[in-house]
A and B are shown apart, each in its own frame.
Chain A
Amino acid sequence: MSEASRKVHLNVFLRATGHHAGAWRHPDARPDLELDIDYLGQLARIAERGKLDSVFLADGYAGGGSKLEPFTLLAALASVTEHIGLIATVGTVYNDPFHVARQFASLDHISSGRAGWNIVTGAGSAAHNFSRDEHPEHAQRYETGEEFVEVVKQLWDSWEDDALIFDKKAGKLLDANKVHEINFKGHTYSVKGPLNIPRPPQGYPVLVQAGSSEQGKELAAKTAEVIFTAQQTFDAGRAFYYDVKSRLAKYGRTVDGLVILPGLAPIVADTEAEAREIEEELHAFVDTRRALDSLSERFTVNLNDYPLDAPVPLGKAKPAEEFNGIRSRQEVIIDAARRESFTIRQLLYRSNGGHGHITFTGSVLQTADFIEKWFKNHAADGFNVLPQLFPTGLETFVDKVIPELQNRGLFRTEYEGKTLRDSLGLQRPANTRHLQQI
């Protein structure tokens, strides 16, 4: 793709109240509508009004309060939207490839080709909800995860695109020669197939990856088409972008086959001063002691033992190698504190606003400048936007920042095609069964 025709891609990370830890207490926020499909439908339609590529849901199987489940929620949103992509996080460790392949295929059919899968391996606390004693190790999770994705792709391909004939006269509903068993036998999974639903409209729903550890980057270069990543500085963003894009060639892939979207948690208003006011308001809603407690868990040091304006005690943090949680997120937090010599308060504020993603408070024009800088200097192909406050933060972004990006020729003015793949400029994968026959 030529540099001139390259366009920003934007996803909105959907939440009912906002990404700021204090957002739910803000007068604009509607925590009471957390499970209300009409409200969530409104948010998705605001994003669609802004011609965003997609909405995205994080997920987990333990704690985390009360939220709708991604497949059911996105299927319902598919009913009330027409263009916007619908990306669900689904973990591999506590799921079966057959169910996941099927549910994504179903979502892709229901949405006429707008589904995406954010592939994660899953977090440890879930083990106890699935008759398991412990969570597998980082390396094993990735190995099993790769096998899982391979099974899912083979299941999606188990129906050739033209397997269904519907010949009423001849009494031939489908061509049985075009529906295949996969007979997969791996370390962890053995799956016979075929899947019980025809191939998804997109061939495969868009494959998204969000882990930014060494293994995560390699897996992304091998199989992902979109990366969501947390990058706390422009330089770190650019280094990550270069690193991952450089890995693509060895898997026979081109740089535009993988779209890199760092998280960006903005607070936008007409003027910088107004945006700062919103930010202050939001910080005031956070119970500092409790927020530091949960940050301490990630940081593995009790930050409540130090004064708020003291420098972050970098020397005391547990090294990433000994950390069996979201490893890259752990590195990002420490790295940012080191690079920018954060005080505990600064670290807390960043964490409040974007839970590990970069936060930005400014005017509409400043926000557009930020996006343009990262995009044009190859630190990003676009952003995973995390409004700190819903619905107003999303509305301001859509109604003010988007037109500015469009004026600068950086963002689409109409959806390019029908599917999420079309919006992202990604090819529809050929069916591997079909390729084998050729």
Chain B
Amino acid sequence: MSGSERKLNLNAFLAASGHHEASWRHADTQPERGVDIKHYLKLTQIAERGLLDSVFLADGYWAGSGSLEPFTMLSALAAATKHIGLIATVETTYNQPFHIARKFASLDHISKGRAGWNIVTGAGPAAEQFSREQHPEHHDRYESAEEFVEIVKQLWDSWEDDALPNDKISGILIDEAKVHTIDYAGKYFKVKGPLNIARPPQGYPVLVQAGSSETGKEFAAKLAEVIFTAQLTFEEAAAFYKDVKLRLAKYGRTTDQLKILPGLSPILADTEAEAQDLENELFALIDHEGAIKRLSGRLGVDLSNHSLDDLVNLDGAQTTDQVSGMKSRHQLILDLVEREQPTLRQLINRLAGARGHFTFTGTPLQLADVIEKWFKNGAADGFNVMPQVYPSGLERFVDKVIPELQNRGLFRTSYEEQTLRGNLGLARPTNSWQAKKTEEEVHS
């Protein structure tokens, strides 16, 4: 793709009240609509009005404040939207490849080619929900995840694209020669196939990856098409971007086959002063006791007696090698403390905006400048937008920032394609059975 036609890709990370941890207490939000599908439909329709590439849901298997389940929620949203991509986080450790291949295929058919899968390996507490003694180690999780994804792709390919002639006259509904068992037998899974649903419209739903550890980066370079990542500074983002894009060649991939979308968590207002006021309102609503407890747990050090206004002292905190999950996020916090030398209050405020993603407080023009800088200087292909307050933060982004980006020629003015893959500029993968046949024809 030539530099002049390169366009931003933008995803909205959905949440009930917003990505600021205290947003649910803000007057603009409606936390009581946390499991109300109409609330999320409204958010998704705002994002679609802004021509965003996709909406995205995080997920996990512990209680929190309760949320809808991604497959059911995105299917419901699919039926009431037309263009916007629908990306679900689904982890590989506590699921079965057959079920996941099938549900994504179904969501892709229901949405006519708008599904995406954010592949994560999962977090520890989930083991106890699934009759398991313990959460597997980092290395094993990634190894089994690779197997899991391989099976899912083979299942999606188990129906060739033209396996359903639906020929009423000859009485041939399915061309059985084009539906294949996969007979996969690996270290972690054994799956016979075929899948019980035809190949997804996109071939494969878009594959997204969100871990930024060393293993995560390699995993992404090998098979992801979009990366969501948390980068706190332009320099770090540019280094990450270069690092990951350079890894693609060894897997025979080109740099435009993987879109890197750092998280961007904005607070927007018409003037900088108003945006600052809004940020202060949110800071004032933070539950410091709870935040200290979470931070202590995350870093493996007891901060309960630490004064809020003293410089953060992390003596005794776990190193990144010592933690088993969320490695890259752990390192990000350690780096932040070393770089900025914050007080505990400042650190809590810094993380409250979006749990370690890049936050921004200012005007739409200032934000457009930041986006343009990252995009044009090799730090991002676009952003995973995480408004700190929903729905108002998303509305402002769509109504004020998007037109500015369009004026600068950086963002689409209408949806280019029917599918998420098409809008992201990603090719539809060829069915592996059909590819094999073509190859045989060439060689015969």
- Interface positions of A (Cβ within 8 A of B): 24-27, 29, 31-32, 35, 37, 41, 60-69, 71-73, 75-80, 94-96, 98-99, 102-103, 105-107, 109-110, 128-131, 159, 164, 166, 168, 171, 173-174, 179, 188-198, 285, 287
Task: Give the size category of B's interface with A.
Answer: 35 or more
Contacts of B65 in A (CB 8 A): 164, 173-174
Contacts of B37 in A (CB 8 A): 78-79, 109-110
Contacts of B190 in A (CB 8 A): 128, 131
Pairs A-B, 4 closest by C-beta atoms: A106-B69, A69-B106, A128-B192, A79-B79
Residue among A63, A105, A131, A164 making CB contact with B196, cutoff 8 Å: A63
Complex Cα distance A79/B45, Å?
Answer: 14
Residue among A24, A76, A105 facing the most chain B CB atoms (10 A cut-off): A76
Interface mask (B123-148 → A, CB under 8 Å = 1, otherwise 0): 00000111100000000000000000
Complex Cα distance A95/B131, Å?
Answer: 12
Nearest-CB residue, chain A, relative to B37: A110
A96 touches B78 (CB 8 A): no
B29 to chain A, nearest CB (A): 9
Complex Cα distance A71/B35, Å?
Answer: 17
A285 touches B164 (CB 8 A): no
- Given the known inter-chain contacts A66-B159, A194-B63, please indicate yes or no for A168 contacting B25, CB distance below 8 A: yes
A110 touches B130 (CB 8 A): no
Contacts of A99 in B (CB 8 A): 95
14 other A-B residue contacts (CB within 8 Å) besides A60-B196, A66-B164, A76-B78 = A25-B168, A31-B166, A37-B110, A61-B99, A61-B196, A66-B159, A67-B196, A76-B110, A79-B77, A96-B94, A98-B130, A110-B72, A191-B128, A287-B171
B35 touches A130 (CB 8 A): no
- Given the known inter-chain contacts A65-B173, A66-B164, please indicate yes or no for A193 contacting B68, CB distance below 8 A: no
A106 touches B68 (CB 8 A): yes
Contacts of A98 in B (CB 8 A): 61, 129-130
CB of B98 closer than 8 Å to a CB of A: yes
Contacts of B27 in A (CB 8 A): 168
Complex Cα distance A80/B80, Å?
Answer: 8
A66 touches B106 (CB 8 A): no
A24 to chain B, nearest CB (A): 6
Interface mask (B82-122 → A, CB under 8 Å = 1, otherwise 0): 00000000000011101100110111011000000000000
A130 touches B191 (CB 8 A): yes
Nearest-CB residue, chain B, relative to A198: B66
- Given the known inter-chain contacts A64-B196, A96-B130, A129-B192, please indicate yes or no for A79 contacting B60, CB distance below 8 A: no
Nearest-CB residue, chain B, relative to A102: B69
Interface mask (B49-71 → A, CB under 8 Å = 1, otherwise 0): 00000000000111111111101
A76 touches B130 (CB 8 A): no
B73 touches A196 (CB 8 A): no
Contacts of B35 in A (CB 8 A): 106, 109, 197-198
Can you name 23 A-B pairs with beta carbons within 8 Å?
A: A29-B168, A31-B164, A37-B78, A37-B79, A37-B109, A66-B174, A69-B102, A69-B106, A72-B107, A73-B106, A73-B110, A76-B110, A80-B80, A99-B95, A103-B71, A109-B68, A110-B68, A110-B72, A128-B191, A168-B25, A188-B131, A195-B63, A198-B35
B382 to chain A, nearest CB (A): 27
CB of B198 closer than 8 Å to a CB of A: yes
B71 touches A25 (CB 8 A): no
B96 touches A191 (CB 8 A): no
Contacts of B196 in A (CB 8 A): 60-67
A110 touches B73 (CB 8 A): yes
A129 touches B109 (CB 8 A): no
A61 touches B98 (CB 8 A): yes
B72 touches A71 (CB 8 A): yes
CB of B439 closer than 8 Å to a CB of A: no
Nearest-CB residue, chain B, relative to A96: B130
A75 touches B25 (CB 8 A): no
Contacts of B69 in A (CB 8 A): 102-103, 105-106, 197
Contacts of B105 in A (CB 8 A): 69
Residue among A37, A102, A131, A191 facing the most chain B CB atoms (10 A cut-off): A131
Nearest-CB residue, chain A, relative to B35: A109
Complex Cα distance A63/B24, Å?
Answer: 46
Nearest-CB residue, chain B, relative to A158: B63
B404 to chain A, nearest CB (A): 33
Contacts of B130 in A (CB 8 A): 96, 98, 191
- Given the known inter-chain contacts A37-B79, A103-B72, please indicate yes or no for A164 contacting B96, CB distance below 8 A: no
Residue among A25, A66, A159 making CB contact with B197, cutoff 8 Å: A66
Contacts of B60 in A (CB 8 A): 196
Residue among B96, B103, B159, B168 making CB contact with A69, cutoff 8 Å: B103
Nearest-CB residue, chain A, relative to B169: A25
Complex Cα distance A37/B159, Å?
Answer: 20
A350 to chain B, nearest CB (A): 21
A71 touches B197 (CB 8 A): no
Complex Cα distance A188/B131, Å?
Answer: 8
B129 touches A191 (CB 8 A): yes
Nearest-CB residue, chain A, relative to B199: A66
Contacts of B75 in A (CB 8 A): 71-73, 75-76
Residue among A25, A79, A171 making CB contact with B285, cutoff 8 Å: A171
B31 touches A196 (CB 8 A): no
A31 touches B78 (CB 8 A): no
Residue among B36, B94, B110 making CB contact with A68, cutoff 8 Å: B110
A129 touches B191 (CB 8 A): yes
Nearest-CB residue, chain B, relative to A163: B66
Nearest-CB residue, chain A, relative to B189: A131
Complex Cα distance A78/B77, Å?
Answer: 10
B79 touches A72 (CB 8 A): no
Residue among A63, A71, A171 making CB contact with B71, cutoff 8 Å: A71
B285 touches A192 (CB 8 A): no
A432 to chain B, nearest CB (A): 18
B129 touches A192 (CB 8 A): yes
- Given the known inter-chain contacts A106-B73, A110-B37, A194-B63, please indicate yes or no for A41 contacting B79, CB distance below 8 A: yes
CB of B76 closer than 8 Å to a CB of A: yes
